Amino acid sequence: MSDTQMLAAPPPELAPSQSVDETPGVSRILGMFGLAVATAGVGVILANQIAGPRLVGSPGGAIGATLGLLAALYAALRETDKTVLRSYAFLGLGLILLSGVIVIPSAERFPLYGWPGLLVGLCFLLCLTRKEDDPGFLKPILSVILGLGIIFSTLALVGGALYPNFLLQFGVILSILGLLYLAGYLGQIGTTTATGYLAARVIGYAGLGFLLFGLVRSILPYVGVKTLSYYTMPQGIYLMVFGALYALVGLGSCSDNRVLVIARRELAAYFYSPIAYLIFAGMIIIGAINFTMYFFNFFDQFGRPVPVIEPIVGNYLMNISGAIVVVFIVPAMTMRIIAEEKRTGSFEVLMGAPITELSVVLGKFLAAWIFFMAAWIPFALYLLPFRVAFDDPFDYRPIIGFYISLGFIGAGFVSMGIFFSSLTKNQIIAAVLTFAGMLFFLLIVLTTSYVLIPELLRRVLNKLAFWSTLSEAIQGRLYLRDLVVHASLTVFWLFLTVKSLESRKWS
């Protein structure tokens, strides 16, 4: 028999090849492990609260529970099986109910124990609504999200407008939770449906109403209406800020303005990639570590509380870790914003629409700036437990100046990152260039703080040292000249970005 006859006949060709759906095995195991760690962390917290101090304290349990829930959230985002996703949704509903059970006996527990369950529960519910197509499951979940958003927002804005003490203890956190629940609902149902469009308009006009009420009520005592007390701090500022946020979310969701449409598109793109969740997870973990280390300063070596010394907000926020964190998150959030569109070719499709380079740049900048400011929310939320733990009010007003100056400084950083992203098709190159720019600004901060240099040079560099601007603002000295410097840098970088995009017409 010849060698040719001994060879087996080739199998028949069966095209196309069989395909098997990818199963998130690793992430599913990580989620199970995370739930176990979170359960253990909650057990540690309960043991410390019921039986007194244990070997592992409440801060350790809180960190374990946070890390475990973050792992479970990652698994829920990666999950494709509908049954498992529904299990995570029931877990989210359980966390929301548990938060209510904890708060009902004593409302004072809410700023410390109530809001984390409500926030994480929303995240688990949104993981299901992204992939659920059965109306029998989808509609009740969306109704729960909308109902809770309305309840939280109404309690926060109405209660905050009437009672200052309610505002400081519950109003801020309820306003943020209500805004997140309503934004999550609009993000899932969309404004192309009649229900979504109506909900967006109602949210927007309600926010606009509270904004105008806070503005008018704050002005009246200054124009001769002596029968009214001064309202600007804190209620007037609170209503104007959160009213503007609700109006922006509501009316911005259903607006046809080109800049807002691009901003919505970019914000959605953030949350369809792991970048948003990694940044938020990192900020939550870093904020928890920073809070825990600062919290221990209020106890002596025997665990007894010591007198609270002002400034609480300044000592907590003005930590060098914040300066280091901003160096990393700006490149991460801006590296792909234009470079990725150039790489995939979608930028040419975008510019083929009746839209200008300026509208594109402003829309992308607005989305990145909103995301940058949202990433710093956890740092402010960690201040709430101080008020509950010590039952002693502290001066909260410096945080207003801190976030105002942070908004101007962040605008300059974000616009710089967008410019570097417009220069290349490679995300890594864009990130490296932005990181180098951030290191330059950090070097200015370190030079003015720790290096002996001539006084004239120090004054010049202090105008660019973002840390000195934040330090002045948190001490109540919010200088307009410093804000103008950072606003000018923002305009400068955005101008360069527009010219960079227009240069494609010249080649």
How distant is the alpha carbon of residue 198 from its chain centre?
26
Whether the CB-CB separation of 98 and 115 falls below 8 Å is answered with no
Whether the CB-CB separation of 462 and 448 falls below 8 Å is answered with yes
Res 221: pLDDT? 80
Whether the CB-CB separation of 203 and 249 falls below 8 Å is answered with yes
Name the pTM for this structure: 0.78
* Residue pLDDT, tens place only, 260-316: 889 988 988 887 777 887 888 788 778 877 777 777 777 666 556 666 666 677 777
Whether the CB-CB separation of 389 and 438 falls below 8 Å is answered with no
Long-range contacts of 232-237 (CB under 8 A, 24+ apart): 233/397, 234/164, 234/167, 234/168, 234/396, 234/397, 235/160, 235/161, 235/164, 235/167, 237/400
Q: Residues 227-244: what's their mean pLDDT?
A: 79
Please say if the pLDDT value at position 233 is more than 60.
Answer: yes
Q: What proportion of the chain, given as a percentage, has pLDDT over 70?
A: 85
Mean pLDDT of all residues belonging to the chain: 82
Q: What whole-number distance in Å separates Cα of residue 112 and Cα of residue 170?
A: 11
Q: Residues 307-329: what's their mean pLDDT?
A: 76
Whether the CB-CB separation of 414 and 337 falls below 8 Å is answered with no
Q: What proportion of the chain, given as a percentage, has pLDDT over 90?
A: 22
* Residue pLDDT, tens place only, 393-420: 666 778 888 888 999 999 999 999 999 9
**Which of 71-85, 111-125, 193-207 has the highest average model confidence (pLDDT)?**
193-207
Q: Residues 67-90: what's their mean pLDDT?
A: 86
* Secondary-structure percent of the chain, ordered helix, strand, coil, rounded to 5: 80, 0, 20
Q: Which residue has the higher pLDDT, 496 or 507?
A: 496
Res 51: pLDDT? 77
Residue that the structure tokens 């609480």 belong to: 312
Res 108: pLDDT? 63
The model's confidence at residue 498, banded by pLDDT at 50, 70 and 90, is: very high
Q: Residues 427-439: what's their mean pLDDT?
A: 93
**Per-domain residue ranges for the chain?**
260-507
